[in-house]
């Protein structure tokens, strides 16, 4: 179904802007290339028996982002973002064609996690940006180290939890009505996630911190679906959110703007 949906999307994207493409309008040419690339990639994923929903979800979010940007941003910014999305489709195809079995990547899970944490550390002395210094300036383009950190963390957690899934699921330690795994098995998970969270809190990137915590809790629950594992993540998430609101004026201001956006029409937050 997902492959058929993207196939229809590609056909519509080609049919409607084709006259504009022939007239030399670059954004229309982008949409044709992007839609065809994503549709073919989805067909490749389905043939390889991959997850049929991930790519359509990513395609939908990308398209929605472009629609919002087209509505609010200048034309030059829209075109630049379109180029980067097309570059992303190229990297997607490179990953599809050159991907190795997950077992090979799993050997490097801790190395990748340490490297990604190191990239985040580099933003403290060398970071760029207004307010929170979240970017690294590589002269020709910028990168935000939290993005590879998310991928490395997901890989690390998946590999670790796959090895200890049964030990976590068949836990026998009780805390009231909750069944908890042995602390020994949670320590590596907590150390990796905790280091990532500390760095992101120090950067004042609380949105990414909560997302990283969500990835950790979701991975733990997917490996061993017990209510205690959700509570283990929701309690620190609530504490972190409350602490960010009380201690960080930027977070507090953004919460107030979210509750009443008309109070700040200039968008200070």
pLDDT digits (tens, 9 = 90+) for 30-86: 766 677 777 777 777 776 777 778 888 888 888 888 878 877 767 777 778 888 888
12 lies in some domain: yes
Instruction: Say what the pLDDT of residue 61 is.
Output: 84
Q: Give residue-wise pLDDT tens across range 198-219.
A: 888 888 787 888 888 888 888 8
For residue 269, being part of any structural domain is answered with no
**CA of residue 48 relative to chain centroid, distance:** 23
Whether 14 is in a domain gets the answer yes
- Considering the domain architecture, whether residues 88 and 109 belong to the same structural domain is answered as no
Crossing angle of helices 54-72 and 2-15, rounded to 10°: 30
Task: Look at residue 102 in the predicted model and tell me its pLDDT.
Answer: 60
Phi first, then psi, for residue 260 (nearest 5°) are -140, 80
Indicate if 80 and 147 belong to the same structural domain.
Answer: no
Question: Can you give the pLDDT at residue 175?
Answer: 67
Residue 263's pLDDT is 76
**Alpha-carbon distances, residue 33 vs 36, 39, 64, 87, 138 (angstroms):** 5, 10, 17, 11, 28
User: Which one of 72, 99, 126 terminates a domain?
Assistant: 99
Note whether 156 and 255 are same-domain residues: yes
Q: Check whether residue 237 and residue 107 sit in a common domain.
A: yes
- Domain assignment present for residue 268? The answer is no
Are 160 and 231 found together in one domain? yes
137 with 221, same domain?
Answer: yes
Domain boundary among 43, 72, 99: 99
Q: Are residues 181 and 253 in the same domain?
A: yes
* pLDDT at position 19: 53
pTM of this prediction?
0.73
Domain range for 30 is 2-99
Residues 70 and 152 both lie in one domain = no
Q: Are residues 110 and 52 in the same domain?
A: no
Candidates 196, 200, 105; CA nearest to 155 is: 105
Is the domain of 215 the same as that of 259?
yes
The residues of the chain scoring below 50 in pLDDT are none
The total number of structural domains that make up the chain: 2
Residue 224 shares a structural domain with residue 110: yes
Same domain, yes or no, for 220 and 259? Answer: yes
- Decide if 52 contacts 45 (C-beta within 8 A): yes
Does 94 reside within a domain? yes
Q: Is residue 203 part of a domain?
A: yes
Reading the block at residue 214, the tokens are: 């969500």
């Amino acid at each position: 179904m997902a492959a058929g949906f993207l196939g229809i999307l590609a056909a519509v994207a080609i049919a409607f802007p084709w006259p504009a493409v022939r007239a030399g309008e670059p954004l229309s040419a982008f949409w044709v290339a992007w839609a065809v690339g994503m549709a073919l990639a989805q067909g490749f994923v389905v043939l390889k028996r991959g997850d049929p929903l991930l790519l359509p979800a990513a395609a939908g979010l990308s398209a929605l982002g472009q629609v919002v940007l087209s509505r609010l941003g200048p034309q030059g910014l829209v075109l630049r973002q379109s180029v980067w999305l097309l570059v992303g489709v190229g990297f997607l195809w490179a990953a599809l064609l050159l991907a190795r079995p997950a077992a090979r990547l799993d050997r490097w899970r801790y190395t990748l996690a340490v490297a990604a944490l190191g990239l985040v550390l580099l933003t403290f002395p060398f970071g760029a940006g207004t307010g929170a210094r979240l970017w690294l300036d590589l002269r020709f383009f910028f990168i935000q180290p939290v993005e590879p950190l998310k991928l490395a963390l997901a890989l690390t957690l998946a590999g670790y939890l796959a090895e200890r899934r049964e030990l976590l699921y068949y836990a026998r330690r009780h805390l009231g009505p909750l069944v908890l795994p042995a602390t020994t098995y949670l320590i590596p998970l907590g150390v990796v996630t905790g280091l990532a969270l500390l760095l992101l809190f120090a950067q004042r990137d609380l949105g990414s911190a909560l997302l990283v915590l969500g990835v950790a809790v979701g991975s733990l629950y997917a490996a061993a679906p017990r209510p205690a594992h959700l509570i283990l993540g929701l309690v620190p998430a609530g504490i972190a959110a409350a602490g960010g609101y009380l201690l960080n004026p930027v977070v507090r201001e953004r919460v107030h703007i979210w509750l009443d956006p008309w109070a700040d029409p200039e968008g200070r937050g």
